[in-house]
Amino acid sequence: MGKTQPITETQARELQPGTLLDEFRIERKIGEGGMARLYLAVNLDGQYKVLKVPRQSYGIDPVCVVSLENEMRLAPYLEDFPHAHMPEARGAASGGYLVMDYIQGVDLLTHLRETGFLSEEEAVSLIRKIVLAMSELHQRRILHLDLKLSNVMITSDGNVRLVDFGLANHLDLPDLIYESFPEPKGTPAYIAPEQFIGVRDDPRSDIFSIGTMLYEMTTGKLPFPDARTEWGVVQRIRSGVTPPRKYNPAFSGAFEFLVLNCLRTNPDERFNSMEELYETLGLWEQEIPIQGIVKFAPKDEAPPERPSVTAALKRVSRLIPRIWEKNRDDFERLKRWADDRVKSEKERPFRVLVAIDLGQDASSRELNERVVRHAIDLARGRHSFITVMTAVTEDTGLAGPEKEMKVYNEACIRARKAIKGLIGAAGGDGSPVGINVRQGDVVEAVNGCIRDYKADLLVVGGSRRGALSRFILGSTAYKILTSVRCNVYVVH
Ligand SMILES: Nc1ncnc2c1ncn2[C@@H]1O[C@H](COP(=O)(O)OP(=O)(O)O)[C@@H](O)[C@H]1O
Ligand SMILES: [Mg+2]
């Protein structure tokens, strides 16, 4: 038995078997990702639990820090969700860690590496369980947004469990991931095209990832290669998907249709919802000769009448003709789709952006606190989102790109912590306040945030003395005030 350690120490180094962390005794490490270590532990009642403990070492990607923060923030909404791991956040204010039920099983990636590809029927039956879990998740207004084989576990009794909610988005909360990094996050080969252009609130993005999983499970290949740049995504869309039957002619036409339908570029052309997909997958279990039902036929050739499936097919058959549509201009169309969607938003939140200069002295801290408090007051009483931003400019001298990235990551994590402290001090802990730390020129960073968040109001601090005088009275402030395209509120 070891001594109980304070959490900050545990974040720095690995926990050894026997170490006590609150009421848990560490048994062994069971996993290690970029951002966290997972330990199997036993609680006072002798129950096995999994602890996900952040590795708060500086130099790691800030996305890792924020995604664990996000997962901990969503834990209360998943505590009673049977298809996940009943997470519970501990000591969130101090960095904390996540406690989850121990899932006895393996993740699907490992599982499939052992068992090999699945047949159409096996894949449909497995994916249907995942789709059911996802439909219940969507009913809770939570999107997963990072669905992939390694984030789904299969238990010894054949049930599925969703793990890793680091990039998830609760539709009734501000999106912490987007607030922090408007550029796309997720696993490039799995995520939907709209996720590349910053859309993170459409449930059909998860349907796309289901399509990717289904494709991979049955063909052993990914439908799209990794795309990391916008150009890569355009290429990905242009080249289209190789139909699964090219790899295995034994797949039914219905199966191919189903997979390709999930993978459509335009979300409007995919299955509408997890429920619709679930129902369609149910056709395989009804022992109907599906082969003959959905044909890749010209649009005027009606599918044969079969009373038990007519209703389901009516819904999906409206999409069949579109499958041959050319992909060429799909990306441009997708961008228009995303723009139209923003325009038609009925209840767009009032977006407040707070620009902070993280000066070192006490007077600038005091002013910053006042600025944040003011922003919270200005936003009160209406549906609004606040993002507090700052820009870090680190002089990395002649350092190489790797060192530069490390220095930037460290500065970014330090700045996030400082802003978090400010929000807490300004009484905004319970409010929906996001944090965004950008690199480089302040004026560009502020304007970038205004554009990305479509901010309605910019709040800045102004003082005649101290570190901020540069910011508000100097040339930087002048450039900000004269270049921004939204209302500005200056707090003195
Ligand atoms: N509650 C759990 N019980 C058992 N194993 C788990 C549990 N949660 C995660 N794992 C295993 O740990 C791996 C990594 O967990 P995950 O939450 O996906 O971390 P990361 O964010 O580093 O990807 C999973 O693929 C799974 O194999
Ligand atoms: Mg994972």
Query: Percentage of the chain surpassing pLDDT 70?
Result: 82
Single residue among 69, 101, 133 that ends a domain in this structure: 101
Q: Which domain holds residue 201?
A: 106-340
What three-state secondary structure class fits 28?
Answer: strand
The alpha carbons of the chain give a radius of gyration, in whole angstroms, of 25
How much is the pLDDT for 41? 97
* Same domain? 301 vs 427: no
* Same domain? 308 vs 159: yes
How much is the pLDDT for 203? 98
> Which residue has the least CA distance to atom 25 on ligand 1?
150
| Tens digit of each residue's pLDDT (9 = 90 or more) over 282-291 | 999 875 444 4
Residues with CB under 6 A from ligand 1: 31, 33, 35-36, 38, 50, 85, 100-103, 107, 150-151, 153, 163-164, 166
pLDDT band at 43 (very low <50, low <70, confident <90, very high): very high
Cα(411)–Cα(415) distance, rounded to whole angstroms?
6
How much is the pLDDT for 374? 92
41 in a structural domain: yes
pLDDT of residue 324 exceeding 80, the answer is no
Single residue among 101, 127, 147 that ends a domain in this structure: 101
DSSP assignments along 317-380, one per residue: HTTGGGGGS--TTHHHHHHHHHHHHHHT-SSPPEEEEEE----SSHHHHHHHHHHHHHHHHHHT
How much is the pLDDT for 463? 59
* Cβ partners under 8 Å of residue 44, min gap 6: 23
pLDDT of residue 293 exceeding 60, the answer is no
* Same domain? 156 vs 277: yes
Cα(44)–Cα(261) distance, rounded to whole angstroms?
49
CA of 38 relative to ligand 1 center, distance in Å:
7
Write the CA distances from 331 to 215, 336, 454, 474, integer angstroms.
22, 9, 22, 42
| Tens digit of each residue's pLDDT (9 = 90 or more) over 111-155 | 999 999 999 999 999 999 999 999 999 999 999 999 999 999 999
Judged by its nearest atom, the ligand closest to the C-alpha of residue 153 is 1
| Comparison of pLDDT for 228 and 126, the residue scoring more | 126
148 in a structural domain: yes
Judged by its nearest atom, the ligand closest to the C-alpha of residue 51 is 1
How much is the pLDDT for 437? 93
Q: Report long-range pairs for 343-349 (Cβ below 8 Å, ≥24 apart).
A: 347/383, 349/383, 349/384, 349/385
* Same domain? 384 vs 320: no
Q: What is the mean pLDDT of residues 358-383?
A: 86
How much is the pLDDT for 295? 31
pLDDT band at 313 (very low <50, low <70, confident <90, very high): very low
Q: What CATH number is associated with residue 76?
A: 3.30.200.20
CA of 464 relative to ligand 2 center, distance in Å:
49
What three-state secondary structure class fits 214?
Answer: helix
* Same domain? 271 vs 370: no
345 in a structural domain: no
pLDDT band at 398 (very low <50, low <70, confident <90, very high): low
Count of structural domains within the chain: 3
* Cβ partners under 8 Å of residue 97, min gap 6: 7, 10, 21, 51, 52, 53, 54, 72, 89, 90, 91
Write the CA distances from 152 to 19, 94, 130, 232, 241, integer angstroms.
29, 29, 8, 27, 24
Q: What is the mean pLDDT of residues 277-300?
A: 60
* Same domain? 297 vs 397: no
CA of 397 relative to ligand 1 center, distance in Å:
39
* Cβ partners under 8 Å of residue 466, min gap 6: 359, 361, 363, 364, 367
Q: What CATH number is associated with residue 470?
A: 3.40.50.620
* Same domain? 370 vs 440: yes
* Same domain? 191 vs 319: yes
* Same domain? 75 vs 115: no
Q: What is the mean pLDDT of residues 336-360?
A: 85
* Same domain? 221 vs 310: yes
Pocket test for ligand 1, best of 38, 112, 114 (most atoms within 8 A of CB): 38
* Same domain? 115 vs 96: no
* pLDDT, averaged across the chain: 83
* Same domain? 142 vs 272: yes
pLDDT band at 48 (very low <50, low <70, confident <90, very high): very high
| Comparison of pLDDT for 293 and 387, the residue scoring more | 387
How far is C-alpha 275 from the geometric centre of its chain's CA atoms? 22
- Decide: 476 and 443 in contact? Cβ < 8 Å: yes
**pTM for this prediction:** 0.81
> Which residue has the least CA distance to atom 8 on ligand 1?
163
Q: What is the mean pLDDT of residues 262-290?
A: 87
Cα(278)–Cα(301) distance, rounded to whole angstroms?
25
- Decide: 387 and 37 in contact? Cβ < 8 Å: no
pLDDT of residue 352 exceeding 90, the answer is yes
> Which residue has the least CA distance to atom 15 on ligand 1?
164
| Tens digit of each residue's pLDDT (9 = 90 or more) over 92-101 | 555 689 999 9
- Decide: 210 and 222 in contact? Cβ < 8 Å: no
